[in-house]
Amino acid sequence: MQVAEREYRYLATSARHRGRALIRNGVEIRTCRRGRGAGRKATFTVLGPADATDLALAAVLCGDNTRSLTRGNAARAFFNRSFEWLEVFQ
């Protein structure tokens, strides 16, 4: 993805997408989510000279459900949402 004229890669580093990494030239921000509900916590490990844009983007992506960013899951999500939308008219 491209944000603020920078190229980023965002990928899962562990099973069930709990560990993720946001990577750009010379910077890697690793995130790990733990817990459920109100007790949910995230930890960030910064490797390289990250700035506020890098940290903000990592925080937003860590808190969001990013599974639909992959091609297979995006297609699955499209069909699921389409069927939910059609149920409104029944």
Token couple for 2? 């491209």
- C-alpha to C-alpha distance for 69 and 54, rounded to whole angstroms: 19
DSSP at 53: H
In whole angstroms, give the CA distance from residue 35 to residue 68.
21
Structural domain containing residue 63:
2-87
Helices (H), 7-89: 52-63, 71-87
Judge contact between 17 and 66, C-beta under 8 A: yes
- Nearest Cα neighbor of 65 from 26, 25, 10, 24 is 10
User: What is the mean pLDDT for each group of 10 consecutive residues in the chain (90 residues)?
Assistant: 89 80 94 82 93 92 73 76 67
Domain count, the chain: 1
| Amino acid 13: pLDDT | 85
pTM of structure: 0.71
